[in-house]
Amino acid sequence: MPNRIVLHIHTEFSHDSNVTLNDIINQCYKNNINCVGLTDHCNADAGFEYKKKLNKNNIKVIVGEEVKTKQGEIIGLFIKKTINCKKENGDLISLKSAINEIKKQGGLVFAPHPFDIMRLGIGKNNLDIFKDEIDAIEIFNSRTKINIFNIKAENYAKDNNITPFIGSDAHIAREISNSIIEMDNFSTKEEFLKNLKKTNTKYYKKRLKLIDIIRPTINKIKKKYLS
């Protein structure tokens, strides 16, 4: 039986998400998902906190983080600890520093929504500079509002022979199933990347309801002022 994987999920450990452990379990059972990549903003806490309980529910966990840098956001998967987004002086770290730290931890470097100018994509110039160090590019992001950004990412991945992936970028529970990847089983990060590259079976959709678009902002305000 192939893995049904959802990458790029934000949980309650992100400042703009309200997805809980139970939400993940329920959505995984409902949609036959058996592997999740948890990538909260500037921390990997959910991956470590949820892993044992998710494993007990037969859900494999890829520990990850979406790191905010001066040049945009980059994802580290299979990392061993949180990567600090800020230096001691409070400035954001550089994209180069984030990539170096992901690699230092033995992780994979995934570029989320790279051409989305509305959501901190790293852009073509940075892709060109770091393409030899980037393991995969998000060619479809379910929260990207303007589809040309996804198309540009897909074309770039094809033109540069970089492994593509799709991400739900879930910030609320029902978004988790928006992008599901089917691929062969894996036991190492190298096997994961190899199987991801050769998979052609992908299920994805976008939600364009206004409430889904603004929900992360609502979550952010609630956490900041009401918690």
Domain extent listing, the chain: 3-225
pLDDT, one tens digit per residue, over 145-198 is 899 999 999 999 999 999 999 999 999 999 999 999 999 999 999 999 999 998
pLDDT (0 to 100) of residue 212: 61
pLDDT of residue 122: 98
Supply the pTM of this predicted model: 0.91
Is residue 104 within 8 Å of residue 82, measured between CB atoms? Answer: no
- Which residues are 69's β-sheet partners? 72
For 107, counting Cβ atoms within 10 Å of its Cβ (0-12 exposed, 13-18 middle, 19+ buried), the class is buried
CATH 3.20.20.140 fits 3-225, yes or no: yes
Tens of pLDDT along the chain (227 residues)? Answer: 678 999 999 999 999 999 999 999 999 999 999 999 999 999 999 999 999 999 999 999 999 999 999 999 999 999 999 999 999 999 999 999 999 999 999 999 999 999 999 999 999 999 999 999 999 999 999 999 899 999 999 999 999 999 999 999 999 999 999 999 999 999 999 999 999 998 866 666 655 555 566 656 656 666 566 55
CA distances from 185 to 49, 60, 106, 199 (A): 24, 11, 20, 11
**Nearest to 77, CA basis, from 135, 17, 24, 22:** 135
User: What phi, psi does 66 have (nearest 5°)?
Assistant: -100, 110
Look at residue 208 in the predicted model and tell me its pLDDT.
52
Cα–Cα distance measured from residue 213 to residue 146, given in angstroms and rounded to the nearest whole number = 12
End-to-end Cα, the chain, rounded Å: 42
